[in-house]
């Protein structure tokens, strides 16, 4: 049965208020709200998402465009006007877009982005992952679109008019259009890219109409070229006219390629074939139901179910495919490094600083086949560019810190992914771990200092040095893990094992926190643990002091034992949300999101602290993790336009929710374990790609019962605060007995605690 989200929502509210329990999910895509997170602006992110209309990991996404050309906030919920329907590859408004172009139906000859813009209402808008529909009031035109991986179909319903038009806008910074009236076709390319220069970069597009053009024009900038069929310039575009009868629909089939016009045509033929609009729509819908349906939840409120699937949807886009399939059925790609067309996989659109934490581990558990392609893509990144990307949008971007590609590569291999050249990736990790890259965000800035001193000094002109050091030490740990798995020489294994302890060098006993350290060994001074940035990245010492994913026991020892450690964790929530923003010269949105969340210093809206709640498990007080996990799920996520508590960030913040709702979280990628939290639903069924089924039962779950009284794994009681990845992959049943009071005897012994390097089992 197909469930209508709005109907269900109405029923839920009118029949039993907030609490209606959903027990049977047949079509999970119906619970997704693509508008979750779109009520955002640069100063306050409630997700900073746009309604991504596409298919999982598709090369192209589509979004209604409310923002101006080139503006990162492409669609914002509070906007009144739509100015186009944009093919986009944008991973984040901060990274902005590349290879984007827009189309827009209008009545009257209006091609300028402001003149053609139309009022619209969310009351006349349907946003689904596989389908978008909106009424453009100023033109009395209804637009519907439905996507494939590299193509899309538009169904545009016009009023009776002798001046109906369709604008094709390939944006500025170098574009070209050519209208071919005898074939009802428009071709062109855009070269637009927000960040500097890309070599030999063009996104070629082709649009095919099912109605002949009545008249054809092109334009450049503000100037119309009447009757001219081809235009090249900084900002070239086309506008083609039609005579339409009332309710006449015009179908537009569109595809693109980063390789050539011929490849764009091939992508169109292959992906749209003879399909009509409804067939493409059904295929996209079925695809979503298949992918989302790998996890079925039941026994939660409609808001919880909707939040879950809206989050799951966000985990299935990035990094998106940058490769295409040629006429010989071979995978080929445009290289962001040398502009050549080369064989094999390539992906783009993710920042590892965000996504190493939960998104990649999530793929390794539920969707490993796509991550095998991504790993093969990383092999090509290294071969073509000489380094692994840390923030690919596409290629190398000089943003954020760390060398977390090591975690992404190691976790995939350790979790059992095979079928790509791991030896080359290992070589890439060793190279990246010991050398400064072509920019500070690739390889390791301060590598020489790190190798000799064991940390990146605060006073040598390398920004955010403590964050770098802590992440490098963890990254070294993941290399150590991979080196062991690949049976590398003992000396090499030991070298990275030793370096993984470098986090200790930044621990300041006087504050009990991590602190920047100068070249001469003295700590940075003055030191304000509430100061954002400076020695840290988009966070303060209270956030970053927990970035010892691989050796929490070592951190507990530094902090003076379990009791002190737990007190310190508690303090994060107890402290007021005070801050020092002077490093940034203003309050960045991540600070504001912490300040307003009423969770003290706990800044769930940004990545550095997102694993912290789970650390209670390493100190024998798992019920505190259970309390705060539920609290965070309840308060920081809603399936609404303002439903995230900060940047969603390419599936990372969503993967946190999906994992947490299942009852566990990958605190330390690179280790074959998940740390137990507390499941949200009464039942979760996980269909693994290997054919096995994992069932997570928690029949006692409700608003009051958030504590784990007992856990049984395949019928046997487990007192452990962790789950083994290999065991989960075999399928089976986790049985959680949930209660409204903590069980203070469960998970309290040392042998129950999750992995720590210092006490390696
Ligand atoms: Ca972030």
The backbone torsions φ and ψ at residue 453, rounded to the nearest 5 degrees and listed phi first, read -95, -25
Report CA(648)–ligand 1 centroid distance (Å). Answer: 7
Predicted confidence at residue 12, as pLDDT, reads 43
Place of tokens 């200790």: 504
Q: What is the mean pLDDT of residues 177-203?
A: 96
Q: What is the mean pLDDT of residues 588-617?
A: 98
Report CA(757)–ligand 1 centroid distance (Å). Answer: 27
Report CA(266)–ligand 1 centroid distance (Å). Answer: 37
pLDDT at 6 over 70: no
Place of tokens 């979004």: 63
Tell me the per-residue pLDDT of 533-585, one tens digit each, with 9 for 90 and over: 999 999 999 999 999 999 999 999 999 999 999 999 999 999 999 999 999 99
> Do residues 66 and 83 touch, judged by C-beta distance below 8 A?
yes
Token pair, residue 648, equals: 């969603």
Tell me the per-residue pLDDT of 495-528, one tens digit each, with 9 for 90 and over: 999 999 999 999 999 999 999 999 999 999 999 9
Q: Which secondary-structure segment (H or E) carries 676?
A: strand 673-676
Report CA(754)–ligand 1 centroid distance (Å). Answer: 26
CA gap 642, 222 in Å, rounded: 36
Predicted confidence at residue 760, as pLDDT, reads 84
Report CA(315)–ligand 1 centroid distance (Å). Answer: 15
DSSP letters spanning 604-643: TTSGGGTTGGGGGGGGT-HHHHHHHHHHHHHHH--SSTT-
Report CA(136)–ligand 1 centroid distance (Å). Answer: 34
Q: What is the mean pLDDT of residues 380-398?
A: 97
Q: How far is CA 487 from the centre of its chain?
A: 33
Report CA(555)–ligand 1 centroid distance (Å). Answer: 24
* Domains assigned to the chain: 48-292 (2.70.98.10)
CA gap 202, 176 in Å, rounded: 10
Report CA(143)–ligand 1 centroid distance (Å). Answer: 33
Bridge partners for 674 per DSSP: 723
- To the nearest whole percent, how much of the chain has pLDDT over 90? 97
Distance (Å) of CA 159 to CA 139, 141, 243, 689? 8, 7, 10, 48
Q: Which secondary-structure segment (H or E) carries 364?
A: helix 359-366
Predicted confidence at residue 197, as pLDDT, reads 87
CA gap 311, 301 in Å, rounded: 15
Report CA(366)–ligand 1 centroid distance (Å). Answer: 23
Q: Which secondary-structure segment (H or E) carries 310?
A: helix 302-314
Question: For the chain, how many residues are written?
Answer: 761
Report CA(592)–ligand 1 centroid distance (Å). Answer: 13
Report CA(646)–ligand 1 centroid distance (Å). Answer: 7
pLDDT at 8 over 90: no
> Do residues 149 and 138 touch, judged by C-beta distance below 8 A?
no
CA gap 619, 749 in Å, rounded: 9
Report CA(140)–ligand 1 centroid distance (Å). Answer: 39
Report CA(260)–ligand 1 centroid distance (Å). Answer: 35
Tell me the per-residue pLDDT of 246-292, one tens digit each, with 9 for 90 and over: 999 999 999 999 999 999 999 999 999 999 999 999 999 999 999 99
Report CA(647)–ligand 1 centroid distance (Å). Answer: 5
In terms of DSSP bridges, do strands 693-697 and 732-739 run parallel, antiparallel, or are they unpaired?
parallel
Distance (Å) of CA 752 to CA 292, 387, 388, 693? 33, 39, 37, 25
pLDDT at 43 over 70: yes
């Amino acid at each position: 049965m197909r469930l209508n989200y709005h109907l269900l929502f109405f029923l839920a509210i009118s029949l039993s208020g907030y609490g209606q329990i959903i027990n049977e999910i047949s079509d999970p895509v119906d619970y997704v709200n693509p508008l979750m997170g779109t009520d955002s602006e640069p100063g306050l992110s409630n997700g900073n998402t746009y309604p991504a209309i596409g298919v999982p990991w598709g090369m192209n996404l589509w979004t209604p465009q409310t923002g101006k050309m080139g503006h990162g906030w492409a669609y914002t919920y509070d906007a009144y006007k739509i100015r186009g329907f944009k093919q986009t590859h944008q991973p984040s408004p901060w990274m902005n877009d590349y290879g984007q172009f827009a189309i827009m139906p209008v009545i009257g000859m209006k091609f300028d982005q402001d003149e053609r813009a139309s009022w619209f209402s969310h009351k006349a808008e349907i946003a689904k992952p596989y389908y978008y529909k909106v009424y453009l009031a100023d033109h009395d035109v209804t637009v519907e679109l439905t996507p494939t991986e590299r193509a899309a179909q538009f169904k545009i319903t016009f009023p009776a008019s002798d001046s109906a038009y369709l604008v094709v806008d390939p944006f500025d910074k170098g574009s070209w259009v050519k209208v071919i009236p005898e074939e009802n076709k428009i071709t062109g390319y855009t070269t637009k890219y927000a960040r500097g220069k890309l070599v030999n970069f063009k996104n070629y597009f082709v649009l095919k109409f099912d109605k002949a053009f009545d008249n054809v024009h092109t334009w450049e900038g503000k100037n119309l070229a009447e009757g001219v069929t081809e235009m090249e310039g900084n900002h070239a575009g086309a506008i083609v006219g039609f005579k339409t009868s009332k309710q006449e629909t015009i179908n537009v089939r569109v595809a693109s390629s980063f390789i050539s016009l011929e490849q764009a045509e091939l992508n169109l033929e292959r992906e749209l074939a003879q399909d009509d609009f409804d067939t493409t729509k059904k295929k996209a819908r079925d695809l979503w139901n298949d992918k989302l349906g790998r996890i079925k939840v039941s026994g939660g409120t409609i808001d919880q179910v909707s939040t879950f699937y809206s989050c799951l949807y966000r985990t299935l886009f990035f990094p998106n495919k940058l490769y295409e399939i040629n006429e010989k059925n071979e995978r080929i790609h445009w290289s962001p490094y040398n502009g050549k067309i080369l064989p094999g996989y390539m992906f783009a659109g993710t920042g590892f600083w965000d996504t190493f934490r939960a998104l990649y581990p999530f793929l390794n558990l539920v969707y490993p086949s796509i991550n095998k392609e991504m790993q093969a893509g990383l092999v090509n990144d290294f071969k073509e560019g000489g380094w692994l990307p840390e923030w690919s949008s596409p290629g190398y971007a000089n943003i954020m810190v760390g060398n977390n590609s090591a975690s992404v590569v190691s976790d995939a291999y350790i979790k059992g992914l095979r079928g790509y050249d791991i030896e080359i990736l290992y070589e890439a990790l060793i190279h990246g771990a010991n050398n400064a890259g072509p920019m500070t965000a690739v390889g390791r800035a301060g590598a020489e200092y790190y190798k000799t001193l064991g940390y990146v000094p605060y006073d040598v002109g390398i920004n955010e040095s403590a964050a770098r050091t802590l992440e490098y030490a963890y990254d070294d740990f993941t290399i150590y893990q991979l080196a062991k798995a690949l049976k590398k020489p003992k000396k090499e294994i030991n070298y990275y094992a030793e370096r993984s302890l470098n986090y200790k060098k930044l621990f300041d006993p006087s504050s009990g926190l991590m602190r920047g350290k100068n070249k001469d060994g003295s700590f940075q001074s003055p030191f304000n643990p509430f100061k954002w940035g400076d020695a840290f990245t988009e966070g303060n010492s209270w956030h970053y002091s927990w970035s010892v994913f691989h050796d929490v026991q070592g951190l507990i020892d530094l902090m003076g034992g379990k009791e002190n450690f737990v007190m310190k964790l508690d303090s994060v929530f107890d402290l007021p949300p005070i801050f020092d923003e002077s490093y940034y010269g203003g309050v960045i949105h991540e600070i504001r999101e912490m300040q307003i969340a009423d969770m003290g210093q706990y800044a769930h809206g940004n990545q550095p602290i997102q694993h912290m709640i789970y650390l209670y498990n390493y100190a024998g007080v798992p019920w505190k993790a259970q309390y705060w996990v539920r609290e965070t799920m309840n308060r920081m996520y809603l399936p609404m336009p303002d439903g995230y508590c900060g940047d969603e960030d390419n599936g990372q913040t969503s993967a946190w929710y999906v994992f947490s709702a299942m009852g566990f979280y990958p605190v330390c990628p690179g280790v074959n374990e998940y740390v137990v939290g507390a499941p949200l639903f009464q039942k979760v069924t996980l269909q693994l790609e290997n054919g096995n089924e994992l069932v997570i039962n928690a029949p006692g779950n409700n608003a009051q019962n958030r504590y784990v009284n007992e856990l049984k794994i395949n019928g046997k009681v487990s007192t452990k605060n962790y789950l083994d990845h290999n065991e989960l992959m075999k399928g089976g049943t986790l049985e959680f007995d949930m209660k409204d009071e903590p069980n203070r005897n469960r998970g309290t012994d040392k042998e129950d605690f999750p992995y720590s390097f210092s006490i390696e089992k």
